[in-house]
Structure 1
Amino acid sequence: MNKLIQCAVASALLINVSMAFAVPDNLRVIGNLVEEPCTILPGDENIPMDFFDTPEKNFYAYGETPPKEFVIKLADCDTSIGKFVEVTFSGTPNLALPGFLALSTSSVASGFAVGLQNSDKTPLAIEQKGSKLTLQDGANQLRFYAYLKGEPDAIADKTIKVGPYSAVATFKLDYE
């Protein structure tokens, strides 16, 4: 009987304790629902680029690699909402090559950076809007280029370090 009373008292205490922590209206959800002209389909938001094996001698001979195309795929575009898009790439800047994307700190290789170009192969600095591109109804493909460029001092001193490398950028779409 004593154990039954102890269990009843303990249960009553637990009920009171849990009620003491209940606070009404303590979660508020806010936001701003917007209408965008296009969507990016799941799976198309990540764009892997592989420069495969690049001989470091290419940097000493040419200074940079040939540009490699990549595409941002847009779907379900509605030109009644927006007729143009500008793309801005952001990431960690390379200190030796302003406007270029730095290699990730986990990279073994060093002495070079990633450059970006618009579809017409004009330079596109990180943190700056690209060319204004005209949208069409339906699917659109925004074409850009990336290339590797040796840092001037690393080329002059022949100190480009070989090994695995990576770089990460984020793109933002601004519609008009």
Structure 2
Amino acid sequence: MKQTFLTSLLILVAMALQSGLVQATDNPDPSAVPANTPCTLHSDSNEVQLDFKRVIDRYLYRYGLTPVRAFALRLQACDSQLLTGARLRLTGSESTELPGLLTLDGTSTANGVVIGLQSASGQALPVNGDDAWSLALAPGDLTIALQAYLEAEPSAQSSRNIVLQRFNATAFVALDYQ
């Protein structure tokens, strides 16, 4: 039974106004936040590192995915008088075998797995998807509860070629205010 430790997902957060005052780029800069956004990103949410702890390959071969790991993005000082909602979009390197799931960075020594992202209620949040997740803004602070899980790529699962070693994956989160 093989296990791996210290595997992580890095989430970089970029905030943008949908009103056209700020145009999205291919490489969002988390520090480039427009001055008139209705919320401020809490400093601990600029870069979120998620540790998957121990992952056992036998579990992935049997069930195809791991239990979810929770994490959160925190917004503070939201002013719902400016704008009342936001749409959350994810971008990153997308799996060709499992579209909508995040692939591992090239520096990773693991292979045969990808990362799925979802809301706390289990709604899939596909990477590079056309649909965005709508959020209501209320005055004050807002915590966006999210989850991530590892999923075996079908070809690696059927050929028993999952390699669990250290890995990194990076997703960009964009909040389009409405």
TM-score by length of 1: 0.78
- For residues 53-104 of structure 1, give each alpha carbon's deviation from its aligned partner in whole angstroms, at most 9, with x where no partner exists: 2011111111000111111100010000111111111111112111000001
> Which residue in 2 is equivalent to 1:16?
none
Q: Any residues of structure 2 matched to 1:128-167 within 5 Å, and which?
A: 128=129, 129-167=131-169
- Identical residues among aligned pairs (%): 29
> Which residue in 2 is equivalent to 1:120?
121
**2: CA distance, partners of 1:70 / 1:121:** 13
Q: Which has the higher helix share?
A: 1
Matched, 1:68 2:69: yes
Pairwise CA distance, 1:147: 0.4
**1: CA distance, partners of 2:38 / 2:156:** 44
Which is further off, 99-108 or 123-132?
Answer: 123-132
Higher Cα Rg, which structure: 1
5+ residue gaps, structure 2, are: 1-20, 23-33
What one-letter code is carried by the residue in structure 2 that aligns with 1:143?
A
> Which residue in 1 is equivalent to 2:10?
none
Moved beyond 4 Å, runs of 4+: 31-34
**Helix, strand or coil: the match of 1:90?**
strand
**2: CA distance, partners of 1:132 / 1:62:** 31
**Residues 58 and 164 from structure 1, CA distance in 2 versus in 1: closer, same or farther, beyond 3 angstroms?**
same
> Which residue in 2 is equivalent to 1:102?
103
**Helix, strand or coil: the match of 2:176?**
strand
- For residues 95-153 of structure 1, give each alpha carbon's deviation from its aligned partner in whole angstroms, at most 9, with x where no partner exists: 21110000011111100100011232021101234321111101000111110000001
**2: CA distance, partners of 1:159 / 1:60:** 10
Q: Number of paired residues?
A: 146
**Helix, strand or coil: the match of 2:37?**
coil
> Which residue in 1 is equivalent to 2:6?
none
What one-letter code is carried by the residue in structure 2 that aligns with 1:133?
L
Residue pair 1:118, 1:130 contacting (<8 A) in 2 also: no
**Helix, strand or coil: the match of 2:44?**
coil
**2: CA distance, partners of 1:89 / 1:164:** 23
> Which residue in 1 is equivalent to 2:112?
111
**2: CA distance, partners of 1:173 / 1:88:** 7
Residue pair 2:89, 2:133 contacting (<8 A) in 1 also: no
Q: CA RMSD of the aligned region, Å? A: 1.6
**2: CA distance, partners of 1:43 / 1:70:** 11
Matched, 1:48 2:49: yes
